[in-house]
Amino acid sequence: MNKLNAKIPDGPLAEKWTRHKASLKLVNPANRKKLDIIVVGTGLAGSGAASTLGELGYNVKVFCYQDTPRRAHSVAAQGGINAAKNYKNDGDSVFRLFYDMIKGGDYRAREANVYRAAEVSNLVIDHYTAIGVPFARDYGGLIDNRSFGGVQVSRTFYAKGQTGQQCLLGGYGALTRQIQAGTVTMYSRRELLDIVVVEGRARGIIARNLITGEIERHAAHAVVLATGGYGTIYYLSTLAVNSNGSAAWKAYKKGALFANPSFIQIHPTSIPVLNEFQSKLTLMSESLRNDGRVWVPKEKGDKRNPNDIPEEDRDYYLERRYPAFGNLVPRDVASRAAKERCDAGYGVGDTGLSVYLDFRDAIQKQGAKAIENKYGNLFEMYEKITGESPYNTPMRIYPAGHYTMGGLWVDYNLMTTIPGLFAIGEANFSDHGANRLGASSLMQCAGDGYFIIPYTIADYLSDQIKVARFDTKRPEFEEAANNVKGRIDKLLAVNGKETVTSFHKRLGKIMWDYCGMYRNEEGLKKALTLIKELEEEFWKNVKVPGSIEGVNQELEKACRVADYFEMAKLLCTDALNRKESCGAHFREESQTDTGEAKRIDSEFAYVAAWEYNGPDKEPTLHKEPLTFEYVKLQERSYT
């Protein structure tokens, strides 16, 4: 039986959210203090939700595994945040932002959710400006905009190359205010290890104190997961090494459906792998493609210094293939194009696995100072890592794992299939389809946290006012805590010879080779076999030193990697099931004559939501049909 009810409100697209807000039930201010809410994660989504709910008068407990909320991974976002303000008077609108997101996601997202994200984007910018985020200004003092991939307007607000950091600091300030006011209690250095479900509703979490090692129990009337994505499943990615998908995975194993898990974005502009000892890759913002031109030599194996290669010997392949969008095509298109050029023998650098991103023309036209004002910190970062200055030599870039469009299935109210468990930001699947447009991540996270979840969670809590606070000695908490401790004891007891990192690295290579930018049936089936074999080896030969007490970072990694083995199998299963290509999910069997993604709308115009059935059992696929009333399903074209 299909469990999915998206709860999309009736009415015209532009009025759905306004009408829905008017129909939602409320909680009286005097009653909010009776209700406890747990928020896990302190990025833009989590800090936004926690501070707003605290301001409204709820009792909020917020958790992060970092030593401070300021270190949440939103800090790493560089290029900007979108909003449909139309400050440039270039034809932008809420509907155009909505359309660009639907098209960019290759028509694999809900119209209603995407339109709402576009609608609240303007509120997000007003809010961040009000709390002091220092967005770039033009010569007259007005907030400036720039372009990003997959669009033909300038709607991206930015703070040089550190937009995520500045937005997070603004959100942290608002969160700290509520901590000081006593409405929010902060639990740093805690990692969620299980969700507690009582009589079918999410009522708390089990967390490990990463300093003392204590297994803690925390109860609440509702739980909000703002825990980000799972891109580190590839081992090498643009994410912080501690970013992980374990919180969402625990929710999946407790009954929350997992939607479109194979939809993982590959970012086209990462600094290439430099050696075999790296634990992560470094993002170079998509904003650089505003002024940087992507090219490779026209001759295979051309080893000349890039500055010695004349114009007539350069292939600006994105401008050649996609003249309407040029270097600002969407990320999935740019990534596959770079891989195709490198695979064909035109790649540059020692390995041949990179292409040039060149600022020569922009510097000549605008001056070095203007380029520094836009991208100075990114240029400094690149030079520190590679030893080469982008002011003098073209950057070398190559695609890398980045963002996950897949995540926990949620309805229009952002609630999972477990009543009382909500997922916001990158932790859910809802807004980006099969490919996220650049600068829409911060937009969605902030919109979910500040302007959506405060309305929808109130509707859920409106009939919970008389529900007493939960005793964490209840059998459900006892069982969950014992299960967590039992799994940790099992990991420590293996006492094998190989490090956790070595297993993660091998798993990441399997995933990158067979479930990365290009996928096919044979490779995905092989990946499933290899993952199962490696997982069995992991549980026989992993070495986790130390004990459960105190700081034990190897134990932290082991818990996450153990989850990644299970998650990797679901990713490959989902990719195998979806025989079409769409967005970042590229099945080699389904491509156009020109090598672009070829959708099969008659068979796959749905959200694939997977249900956990227990260990060693195949998950059940539930399908949420996607219907399009306001945009026409058609093949994406950026030419």
Q: What is the CATH number of the domain that holds 568?
A: 1.20.58.100
Residues 294 and 395 in one domain: yes
CA 260 to mean position of chain CA atoms: 13
Q: Give a yes or no: residue 617 inside a domain.
A: no
Nearest to 149 by CA among 340, 335, 359: 335
DSSP single-letter state for residue 434 = T
Q: Pick the catalytic residue: 70, 190, 203, 331?
A: 331
Q: Are residues 233 and 272 in the same domain?
A: no
My answer on whether 261 and 330 are in the same domain is no
Does a structural domain hold residue 316?
A: yes
232 and 103 within one domain: yes
CATH number for the domain that contains residue 368: 3.90.700.10
Assess contact for 342 and 399: CB atoms under 8 A. Answer: no
Tell me the pTM.
Answer: 0.98
Whether 507 is in a domain gets the answer yes
Residue 466 lies in a domain: no
Q: Supply the pLDDT for residue 350.
A: 93
Q: What is the CATH number of the domain that holds 168?
A: 3.50.50.60
* pLDDT at position 481: 98
| Structural domain includes residue 467 | no
599 is catalytic: no
Edge-to-edge order in the sheet of strand 215-219: 190-198, 201-209, 215-219
DSSP-based three-state secondary structure for 392: coil
- Written as one letter, the residue type at 620 is T
How many other β-carbons are positioned within 10 Å of the β-carbon of residue 416? 29
* Helix/strand/coil for 379: helix
Same domain assignment for residues 64 and 19: yes
Residues 217 and 346 in one domain: no
Q: What angle (nearest 5°) sits at the alpha carbon of residue 628, between those of residues 624 and 633?
A: 110
Of 373, 401, 429, which closes a domain?
A: 401
616 domain-assigned: no
Structural domain harbouring 274: 268-401
pLDDT block averages, 10 residues each, the chain of length 639: 84 98 98 98 98 98 97 94 97 98 98 98 98 94 94 96 96 98 98 98 98 98 98 97 97 98 97 93 96 98 96 98 97 97 97 97 97 95 97 98 98 98 97 97 98 98 96 98 98 98 98 98 98 98 98 98 98 98 98 95 98 96 97 94
For residues 519 and 326, what is the distance between their CA atoms, to the nearest angstrom? 26
Q: How far apart are CA 186 and CA 69, in angstroms?
A: 9
In this structure, is residue 615 part of a structural domain?
Answer: no
Give the amino acid at 199: E
Query: Would you say residue 29 lies in a domain?
Result: yes
221 in the same domain as 94:
yes
What is the residue-wise DSSP string for 9-52? PPS-GGGHHHHHHHHS----HHHHTT-EEEEE--SHHHHHHHHH
On whether both 123 and 216 belong to a single domain, the answer is yes
Task: For residues 510 and 525, give the distance between their C-alpha atoms in angstroms, rounded to a whole number.
Answer: 11
Of 401, 417, 433, the last residue of a domain is: 401
Determine the pLDDT at residue 1.
41
Clarify whether residues 221 and 281 are in a common domain.
no
Q: Are residues 252 and 362 in the same domain?
A: no
Residues 80 and 193 in one domain: yes
Give me the number of domains the chain comprises. 3
46 lies in the same domain as 137: yes
DSSP string, 107-170: T-S-HHHHHHHHHHHHHHHHHHHHTT----B-TTSSBP-B--TT-SS--EE-STT-HHHHHHHH
Considering 401, 421, 442, which residue would you say is the last residue of a domain?
A: 401
